Structure 1
Amino acid sequence: MDSVVQEREIREIRAFNRFYTNLIGALDYSRRLHAPYTLTESRVLYELAHSPRTDAADLRAELGLDSGYLSRLLAKFEKNGLIERAPSEKDTRRRRVTLTARGRETADLLDERSRDSVGSLLSTVPPADRPRLTEAMRDIREILSGSRRRRPRREDVLLREPGPGDLGWIVQRNAALYTAEYGWNTDYEGLVARIVADFAEDHDPHLERVWIAELDGRPVGCVMCVRDEAPGAARLRLLLVEPDARGLGIGDRLVSACVEFARGVGYRETVLWTNDVLSSARHIYQRHGFTLLGEKPHRSFGADLVGQDWRLDLHATQE
């Protein structure tokens, strides 16, 4: 043991561990969050739901599980129709694990129960204290994981549904980033605010969705998939990645999530409108098979721009 570590510090950490373990256990017991699954089984389903290209070795390393135990657990999931296993595309010695439709429904249900439970817990905390609580939790996680001292990895990024405050974050970050990087005025913030407000007030959760990319407990990216006016078309909107999180493939993952969702719920095509100055985003769209339909100069957001319409035929790209 480090001689500098004080006995008082050890006592405080042990006391916190006991308190938090009892708190989480009480929440789980009172609401039966994970029934009929154990906590570990629920953690595996959660990882699979948020890392669509995971293999067994990744799960074992991420969750610190014994290989034999994990193998038995995955066999149980496969027998129950929750997962499918196949050789990895990158390394045939590895086994790729993906959720089935039933598995995704199960993971979504567990996630919903967990969110409701945490929401109930936070409801007992005065609103003024909630930012301090979440910041303290983030500090604990960052300090103990050493995330302040290491370079973020692609696998550290989580794609999730928006929580309280995330839709407001989308408006704020779009406005701030596009002003800083392209000099756009508040007209763009007004446009984004209307798009987000329309989604928040009236959207079909079966056909429309928002994804938030999270890194080290903070949002670093987003994208929306909403119904377009054209029959059978989905519209991709508001793709954004924070500057300090670029280079981790977040934009690709967000667009991929949007396209896969649109295809899965039966849309015929995905369309989007962007501007030619957004070159990084356009390269992502091209990599995913979008084709340029046309472009037109316009004056918007205080700048002279060239708007572009792009389209992806979801049936033509399906393997």
Structure 2
Amino acid sequence: MTKPLEKTAQAPSAVGAPIQEMRAFNRFYTNLIGALDYSRHLYVPYTLTESRVLYELAHSPHTDAADLRVALSLDAGYLSRLLAKFERDGLVERTPSAPDPRRQRITLTARGRDAADLLDERSREAVGSLVAEVPAADRARLTAAMRTVRSILERTGRRRAGVRLRESRAGDLGWIVQRHGELYAAEHGWNTAYEGLVARIVADFTQDHDPRLERVWIAELDGRPVGSVMCVRDGEPGTARLRLLLVEPDARGLGIGDELVSACVGFAREAGYRDMVLWTVDVLAAARVIYRRHGFVLAGEKPHRAFGADLVGQDWRLSLGDRPA
């Protein structure tokens, strides 16, 4: 027999209004999304979650199943069943990852790419038709409001999870070098050349850094370090460089990487930089999701061999001129 719901204490007046507004907004937005439902309005045979997976695969052509699960916060078993369905339908291929055969690399087939392109086209049309009805003068306000809602609730979620960001202190830089070396060797099979590169980056930072223009952040979860990122001067005048983004495996999925990048970008804006750049490689799919979310665009890519692996290096750039509301 199902236990009846117990009546909870009435919310204090300080939070009562936000609760009612959030519930009202949730009902409104749920109905709005229903109006743009993928399977009905867009006339495609995929659920919203399936469409998200296809979109991510289309925009991250070298994606491991583990990275895909983290990027989309999906249950491992559910994602495995979904990928098996896609494989049966001829949309994806699964092969062992070259750096680590224990991981599965997921790639779209030609049919899968056609399906993803169709989804993207129809989704853009549907959302575009909705935005077109918004007066031009209100579109900037709408964008800023959505960004504000997401930012506030993301910060709230981080606090609830016991996560906090702080500046680096004695011992942190050594931890950054150690964990980068260990994690990239374990997860991607990279050799000690990468750990050496990280050590040089850290050494350069300690020897010649301007605290007004450069900073390191450490993310802590329940008092222990679980992530890092660095903002440093780039060789190009007026340009900052984001470096050494890392999140421990057991802390992924909490939005820590997003929070670290947000802190780095915000600091660069406040410091007066015009642009921010970063270098990454194609196998780091989850990180690229975060970069795109913050407005970074792919500026170029080039295959090369480094750290004992065949990689595709990517340069990303963000213009800091347009400050968010």
TM range (shorter): 0.5 to 0.7
> What is the match of residue 248 of structure 1?
254
Structure-2 change in CA distance of 1:273 and 1:154 (3 Å): farther
- Partner Cα separation in structure 1 for residue 285 and residue 206 of structure 2: 29
Cα distance between partner residues in 2 of 1:183 and 1:318: 39
1:215 aligns with 2:209: no
Number of paired residues? Answer: 176
Q: Aligned-pair distance for 1:90?
A: 4.7
1:20-56 alpha-carbon deviations (Å, 9 max, x no partner): xxxxxxxxxxxxxxxxxxxxxxxxxxxxxxxxxxxx8
Residue 195 in structure 1 maps to residue 201 in structure 2: yes
Distance 2:240 2:234 in 1: 5
**How much does 1:155 deviate?**
4.2
1:253 and 1:173 map into 2 onto residues whose CA distance is 19
What's 1:166 paired with?
172
| Match for residue 269 of structure 1 among 272, 275, 300 | 275
The CA distance in 2 between the partners of 1:154 and 1:282, in whole Å, is: 25
**Separation in 2, partners of 1:224, 1:200:** 12
Give per-residue Cα distances to partners, 1:79-126, cap 9 Å, x unaligned: xxxxxxxxx9559xx9xx9xxxxxxxxxxxxxxxxxxxxxxxxxxxxx
The one-letter amino acid paired with 1:314 is L
- Are 1:300 and 2:288 an aligned pair? no
Aligned to 2:288: 282
Deviation at 1:153, TM superposition (A): 6.5
Gaps of 5+ in 1: 1-55, 58-87, 98-151
Query: Would you identify which runs of 4 or more consecutive aligned residues in structure 1 move more than 2 Å?
Result: 88-91, 152-155, 316-319
Structure 2 CA distance, aligned partners of 1:302 and 1:154? 40
Letter in 1 for 2:294: H
Q: How does 1:52-67 map to 2 (within 5 A)?
A: none
- 222, 228, 232: which one aligns with 1:226: 232
- Asked if 2 retains the 8 angstrom alpha-carbon contact of 1:222 and 1:240, the reply is yes
Partners of 2:315 and 2:163 lie apart in 1 by 29
Contact 1:154 1:248 in 2 (8 A): no
CA shift, 1:200, in A, is: 1.2
TM-score by length of 2: 0.52
Structure 1 CA distance for aligned equivalents of residues 160 and 243 of structure 2: 23
Where in structure 2 are there 5+ consecutive unaligned residues? 1-13, 16-146
Displacement of 1:158 in angstroms is 0.8
CA distance in 2, matches of 1:210, 1:89: 25
After superposition, the CA RMSD in angstroms is 2.3
What secondary structure does 1:307 align onto?
Answer: strand
**Displacement of 1:202 after TM fit?**
1.3
Query: Is contact 1:153-1:248 (8 Å) kept?
Result: no
Secondary structure at the counterpart of residue 221 of structure 1:
strand
For the 8 Å contact 1:226–1:235, the answer to whether it is kept is: yes
1:239 corresponding residue in structure 2? 245
Q: What amino acid sits opposite 1:305 in the alignment?
A: L
What residue is the counterpart of 1:183 in the other structure?
189
For 1:313, which of 293, 313, 319 is the aligned residue?
319
Contact 1:289 1:317 in 2 (8 A): no
